[in-house]
Amino acid sequence: MIIFVLIVFLWSLIGEIWITYLLTIIIAFSFGIANMIKINLRFEPIYPEELKMAGNPGDLFSFFSLEQYNLSVGKIVILILLSITVVVALIFISHKLVKKIFKVSVKYLDRKILLIRGILLVISSFLLLTVYNFNQPGNEVKKIVDKYAIWSDNSQNSTYHENGFVIGFIYNFPVAVISKPSNYSEESIKKIMDKYMVRADAINSERKNDNMDDTNLIYVMSESFSDPEKLKGISLAEDPIPYTKSLLEKYSSGNSFATNFGGGTANIEFEALTSISLWALSPQVTTPYQMFSFYENFPNVASTVMKNHSTTAIHAYSSEMYKRKSVYEKMGFEDFYTIENSTHFFPLENSALASDASAFEETLFQMSQSQGNDFIHLVTMQNHGPFDSSIYENQFEVSGTPEVSENSAGTYVQGLRHSDDAMKGFITELDKLPEKTVMVFWGDHLPSIYSEEILEKNTQRSLRETPLFIYTNFETAKEDLGTISPIYFMNHVLKLTDTKVTPYYALMNDLEKSAKVLDRQTILDGDDKKIDLNDFSKEDLEVINDYKMIWYDMLEGNKYSESFFEK
What is the phi/psi pair of residue 374, to 5°? -120, 150
The answer to whether residues 275 and 507 touch, using CB atoms and an 8 Å cutoff, is no
- Which DSSP category does 347 fall into? B
Three-state DSSP class for 252?
Answer: strand
Q: What gap in Å lies between CA 567 and CA 563, rounded to an integer?
A: 8
Three-state DSSP class for 71?
Answer: coil
Q: What gap in Å lies between CA 462 and CA 505, rounded to an integer?
A: 28
Residues 160 and 234 occupy one common structural domain: no
Q: What gap in Å lies between CA 310 and CA 336, rounded to an integer?
A: 12
Q: What are the b/e assignments for 16-28, b being 16+ CB within 10 Å?
A: ebeebbbbbbeee
Residues 233 and 142 occupy one common structural domain: no
Q: What gap in Å lies between CA 411 and CA 353, rounded to an integer?
A: 14
Q: Does 392 reside within a domain?
A: yes
Q: What gap in Å lies between CA 174 and CA 49, rounded to an integer?
A: 9
Q: What gap in Å lies between CA 450 and CA 228, rounded to an integer?
A: 10
Q: What gap in Å lies between CA 517 and CA 486, rounded to an integer?
A: 9
The answer to whether residues 256 and 468 touch, using CB atoms and an 8 Å cutoff, is yes
- Number of folded domains that form the chain: 2
Q: Identify the pLDDT of residue 422.
A: 98
Q: Identify the pLDDT of residue 256.
A: 99
* Amino acid identity, position 212: M
Residues 29 and 138 occupy one common structural domain: yes
> Structural domain of residue 64, as residue ranges?
2-170
**Count of other CB atoms within 10 angstroms of residue 62:** 16
Contacts of residue 181, defined as CB under 8 A and 6 or more positions apart, other chains included, come to 188, 545, 548, 549, 552
C-alpha closest to that of 517 among 321, 279, 344, 205: 279
Contacts of residue 212, defined as CB under 8 A and 6 or more positions apart, other chains included, come to 305, 306, 309, 493, 494, 497, 499
C-alpha closest to that of 377 among 295, 280, 479, 309: 309
Q: What gap in Å lies between CA 465 and CA 260, rounded to an integer?
A: 10
Q: Does 507 reside within a domain?
A: no
Q: What gap in Å lies between CA 260 and CA 258, rounded to an integer?
A: 5
Residues 70 and 7 occupy one common structural domain: yes
Residues 212 and 147 occupy one common structural domain: no
Q: Does 504 reside within a domain?
A: no
- CA dihedral 180→547→293→378, nearest 10 degrees, is -160
C-alpha closest to that of 414 among 230, 219, 237, 262: 237
Residues 152 and 233 occupy one common structural domain: no
What is the phi/psi pair of residue 212, to 5°? -110, 25
Q: Identify the pLDDT of residue 513.
A: 98
CATH classification at residue 279: 3.40.720.10
Q: What gap in Å lies between CA 372 and CA 125, rounded to an integer?
A: 56
* Amino acid identity, position 216: N
Residues 246 and 149 occupy one common structural domain: no
Residues 136 and 274 occupy one common structural domain: no
C-alpha to C-alpha distances, 234 to 296, 407, 456, 559, nearest whole angstrom:
46, 13, 12, 49
Q: What gap in Å lies between CA 273 and CA 293, rounded to an integer?
A: 16
Q: Does 68 reside within a domain?
A: yes
Q: Does 200 reside within a domain?
A: no
pTM for the model = 0.84
- Which DSSP category does 209 fall into? B
The answer to whether residues 18 and 91 touch, using CB atoms and an 8 Å cutoff, is yes
Q: What gap in Å lies between CA 95 and CA 168, rounded to an integer?
A: 31
Per-residue pLDDT of the chain (567 residues; tens, 9 = 90+): 788 888 888 888 887 777 887 888 888 888 888 888 777 766 678 888 777 666 555 555 555 555 555 555 565 567 667 766 766 676 666 666 656 654 545 555 567 778 888 888 899 898 888 888 888 888 888 888 888 888 876 667 788 888 888 888 888 887 889 999 999 999 999 999 999 999 999 999 999 999 999 999 999 999 999 999 999 999 998 999 999 999 999 999 999 999 999 989 999 999 999 999 999 999 989 899 988 889 998 999 999 999 999 999 999 998 888 889 999 999 999 999 999 999 999 999 999 999 999 999 999 999 999 989 999 999 999 999 989 889 999 888 888 777 656 678 899 999 999 999 999 999 999 999 999 999 999 999 999 888 888 999 999 999 999 999 999 999 999 999 999 999 999 999 999 999 999 999 999 999 999 999 999 999 999 999 999 999 999 999 999 999 999 999 999 999 999 999 997
Q: What gap in Å lies between CA 524 and CA 479, rounded to an integer?
A: 19
Domain final position from 142, 170, 198: 170
Q: Does 518 reside within a domain?
A: no
Q: What gap in Å lies between CA 361 and CA 565, rounded to an integer?
A: 33
The answer to whether residues 523 and 532 touch, using CB atoms and an 8 Å cutoff, is yes
* Amino acid identity, position 70: N
Residues 242 and 153 occupy one common structural domain: no
The answer to whether residues 566 and 205 touch, using CB atoms and an 8 Å cutoff, is no
Residues 165 and 217 occupy one common structural domain: no
Residues 303 and 415 occupy one common structural domain: yes
C-alpha to C-alpha distances, 191 to 198, 295, 314, nearest whole angstrom:
11, 25, 39
Three-state DSSP class for 208?
Answer: coil
Q: What gap in Å lies between CA 177 and CA 189, rounded to an integer?
A: 19
Strand ranges inside 182-317, DSSP E: 215-222, 235-236, 252-257, 310-315
* Amino acid identity, position 466: T
Q: Does 348 reside within a domain?
A: yes
Domain final position from 478, 499, 520: 499
Domain final position from 499, 529, 560: 499
Q: Does 533 reside within a domain?
A: no
Question: 234: part of which helix (H) or strand (E)?
Answer: none
Q: Identify the pLDDT of residue 294.
A: 92
The string of DSSP letters for 420-443 reads HHHHHHHHHHHHH-SSEEEEEEEE
Q: What gap in Å lies between CA 324 and CA 338, rounded to an integer?
A: 11
Residues 119 and 217 occupy one common structural domain: no
**Count of other CB atoms within 10 angstroms of residue 372:** 11
What is the phi/psi pair of residue 178, to 5°? -150, 140
